[in-house]
Amino acid sequence: MAADRSSPPSQRTQVRRLPLRGAYDRETVHAILDAGFLCHVGFVADAGHPVVLPTGYGRRGETLYLHGSAASAMLRRLKEGAVELCCTVTHLDGVVLARSVFHHSMNYRSVMIFGRARAIEDEAEKLDALEVITNHIVPGRWAQARLPTAQELKGTAVLGLPLEESSAKIRVGPPKDEEEDYELPVWAGVIPARVAYGAPEPDPHLNPAGAGLAAPRPR
Residue 18 lies in a domain: yes
What is the distance between the alpha carbons of residues 38 and 55, in angstroms, rounded to a whole number?
A: 6
Determine, yes or no, domain membership for 189. no
Q: How confident is the model at residue 2 (pLDDT cuts 50, 70, 90)?
A: very low
Q: Quick one: 110 exposed, middle or buried, by C-beta within 10 A (0-12, 13-18, 19+)?
A: middle
Report how far residue 146's alpha carbon sits from residue 207's, in angstroms, rounded to the nearest whole number: 14
In a domain, 206, yes or no: no
pLDDT tens per residue, range 81-136: 667 899 999 999 999 999 999 999 999 999 999 999 999 999 999 999 999 999 99
| pTM given for the model | 0.87
* 49-69 residue pLDDT tens: 898 989 999 999 999 999 988
Give the tens place of pLDDT for each residue, 9-45: 666 666 667 666 667 788 999 999 999 999 999 988 7
Give 153's contacts (C-beta < 8 A, 6+ positions apart): 123, 126, 127
Residue 181 lies in a domain: no
The reply to whether 214 falls in a domain is no
Domain range enclosing 62: 11-172
- The sign one gets for the Cα dihedral 17, 55, 158, 61 is positive
pLDDT of residue 92: 97
Instruction: Report the percent of the chain where pLDDT is more than 70.
Output: 85
Domain count, the chain: 1
Residue 205 lies inside a defined structural domain of this protein: no
- Whichever domain contains 46, its CATH number is 2.30.110.10
Q: Which helix (H) or strand (E) holds 124?
A: helix 123-137
Asked, for residue 61, whether it belongs to a domain, the answer is yes
Rounded Cα gap, residues 89 and 138, in angstroms: 18
Residue 120, helix vs strand vs coil = coil
List, for residues 168-207, the tens digit of each pLDDT value: 999 999 999 999 999 999 999 999 999 999 999 988 998 8
Distance of CA 195 to the CA centre of its chain: 14
